[in-house]
Amino acid sequence: MLSDIEMKILETIRNVLEDPNVDVNSDFFEAGGNSLLAAILVEKLRGSSIPVDIRTVLRLPTARGIAQYMLDQQKEGDPR
């Protein structure tokens, strides 16, 4: 079962890539993403109150990876 944040990130990735078959472990770039789409993804996530930056998407290019990073940052009290 996906967490709420994983689902929100996954839905946003699917929207940006226009691919409903992307799953929570799909690599954003292997699924057709590029740096411009990554920037669009970051802006859409920020608009959904998920304060992610481009470096995070480049380093952790899956919905699950981004979600886990955001949860870890919240635990540390330093959301990006």
> Higher pLDDT residue, 77 or 6?
6
Tens-digit pLDDT profile for residues 11-37:
999 999 999 999 999 999 999 999 999
The boundaries of the domain holding residue 38 are 4-76
- For the record, the structure tokens of 12 come out as 């946003």
Going by C-beta distance under 8 Å and a sequence separation of 6 or more, which residues neighbour residue 60? 66, 68, 69
CA distances from 16 to 77, 78, 79 (A): 29, 26, 23
CATH number at residue 21: 1.10.1200.10
What is the number of structural domains in the chain? 1
pTM of the model: 0.90
